[in-house]
């Protein structure tokens, strides 16, 4: 049986087996049954199939009644990545998901900086996604932090993309009032209504689609930061952007050892220029 012939559900269970072997050191039938709600015979069949497709990756311990990771383990069904584990760990720490909804068997003691939760209306988001997909404009009730607009105001926008700065979600849209493309915080979009023609085509938003190279360069000696004991951090790599991003939002889409090819959501090449959403 080729890997492509394995049904998606079965493949996910084989990936789960491998995840537990790699990160937890072992697995048994009860783990598979608890995670996927399958029967005892199905869990046994999954383990047998895994042994067939990844020979030498696990050994059965009769005393523990558990399959343990073999010394010469080589992953077949998933690529081990630190981010995959840490993201699940963070979701538990942030209480975004209970431990049983992750693939972690034993969650180590973890703490993280709490991030303020910004509520986004499901109906507002659903309507925006629809508008993006259909290329239409919508009217939103937006709470701006602009001193001239203290109260929420209705405005027409033509959304075409979404972005995240690590803390907050934005919708990238053409503002029919200011006649330009802007970022709007999703949590400040209180209500939505209407449906209309697009105010501008997404392709016109050059700050969103503009791409350019950012060179990673080591700082000069006088610029090198000082670490503990006064030693310069000479092995660190620093980004010398030589531009100001309006939203300080940079997405790296391609990387080499010395260069990064990135997309800037709202790049302002004139240094020193700053912008607040909406």
CB 141, CB 160: distance < 8 Å: no
Residue 116 in this model has a pLDDT that exceeds 80: no
Mean pLDDT confidence for 41-61: 95
Q: Give pLDDT tens digits for 236-252.
A: 444 434 333 333 334 44
Task: Indicate whether this model's pTM tops 0.85.
Answer: no
- The model's confidence at residue 264, banded by pLDDT at 50, 70 and 90, is very low
For the domain made up of 3-80, the CATH class stated in words is mainly alpha
Q: For residue 124, is pLDDT > 80?
A: yes
For 86-152, give the secondary structure using H, E and C: HHHHHHHHCCCCCHHHCCCCCCCCCCCCCCCCCCCCHHHHHHHHHHHHHCCEEEEEECCCCCCCCCC
- Give me the chain's average pLDDT, please: 80
Q: What is the pLDDT of residues 178-222, one digit of tens each?
A: 999 999 999 999 999 999 999 999 999 999 988 777 777 666 555
Torsion of Cα atoms, 180 then 182 then 184 then 189, to 10° = 10
The residues that bridge with 199 in the sheet, in sequence order, are none
Predicted pLDDT of residue 92: 87
Q: What is the pLDDT of residues 130-159, one digit of tens each?
A: 999 999 999 999 998 887 778 999 999 999
Q: Where are the domains of the chain?
A: 3-80, 122-204, 207-268
């Amino acid at each position: 049986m080729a890997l492509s012939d394995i049904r998606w559900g079965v493949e996910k269970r084989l990936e789960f087996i491998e995840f537990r072997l790699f990160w937890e050191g072992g697995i048994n039938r009860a783990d598979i049954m608890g995670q996927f709600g399958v029967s005892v015979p199905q869990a046994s069949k999954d383990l047998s199939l895994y042994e067939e497709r990844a020979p030498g990756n696990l050994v059965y311990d009769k005393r523990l009644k558990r399959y343990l990771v073999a010394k010469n383990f080589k992953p077949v069904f998933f690529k081990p990545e630190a981010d995959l584990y840490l993201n699940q760990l963070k979701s538990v720490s942030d209480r975004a998901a209970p431990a049983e909804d992750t693939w972690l068997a034993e969650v180590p003691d973890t703490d993280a900086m709490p991030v303020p939760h910004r509520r986004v209306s499901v109906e507002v988001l659903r309507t925006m996604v629809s508008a993006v997909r259909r290329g239409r404009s919508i009217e939103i009730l937006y709470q701006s932090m602009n001193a001239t607009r203290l109260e929420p105001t209705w405005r027409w926008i033509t959304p075409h993309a979404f972005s995240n700065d690590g803390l907050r979600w934005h919708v990238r849209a053409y503002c029919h009032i200011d006649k330009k493309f802007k970022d709007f915080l999703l949590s400040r979009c209180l209500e939505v209504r209407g449906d209309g023609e697009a105010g501008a085509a997404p392709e016109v938003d050059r700050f969103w689609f503009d791409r350019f190279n950012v060179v990673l360069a080591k700082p000069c000696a006088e610029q090198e930061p000082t670490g503990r004991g006064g030693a310069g951090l000479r092995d660190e790599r620093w980004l010398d952007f030589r531009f100001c991003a309006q939203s300080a939002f940079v997405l790296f889409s391609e990387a080499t050892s010395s260069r990064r090819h990135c997309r800037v959501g709202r790049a302002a090449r004139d240094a020193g220029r700053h912008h607040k959403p909406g």
